[in-house]
Amino acid sequence: DAKTTQPPSMDCAEGRAANLPCNHSTISGNEYVYWYRQIHSQGPQYIIHGLKNNETNEMASLIITEDRKSSTLILPHATLRDTAVYYCIVRVGGFGNEKLTFGTGTRL
């Protein structure tokens, strides 16, 4: 799985959009970008994933650059409950490749 690079921490004012960047310059064509978050000491929580198109769900939006070497997770209206460590993970999707390799993440 490709390596990812994230800033160690970010601040965001409540009510504003939080934009969390992730660099994955060695990503392969069949690797997906996944985002998880871990609130305090709880189990990680899936947020969103994408391959090359931008994606949006009820929690967040994922913007992937055209060359796929970086992406941005957007929390449109961040609140105190979004305080967590956010992990950007790149891996091949599908059966047999379920391993998630967590980095150090971004503390928001």
Site size toward another protein (CB under 8 A) is: 23
Per the CB < 8 A criterion, the answer to whether 92 and 100 are in contact is no
In the complex, least distance from residue 10 CB atom to another protein, rounded to whole angstroms = 17
Sequence-ordered alpha helix ranges (H) in the chain? none
Determine which residue in the list 49, 61, 69, 82 makes contact with another protein, applying CB under 8 A: 49
Is the Cβ of residue 25 or residue 102 nearer to another protein in the bound state? 102
Side-chain-side CA neighbours of 71 within 13 Å: the count stands at 28
Q: How far apart are CA 81 and CA 33, in angstroms?
A: 23
| Residues making contact with another protein (CB under 8 A) | 32, 34, 36, 38, 41-46, 49, 85, 87, 93-96, 98-102, 104
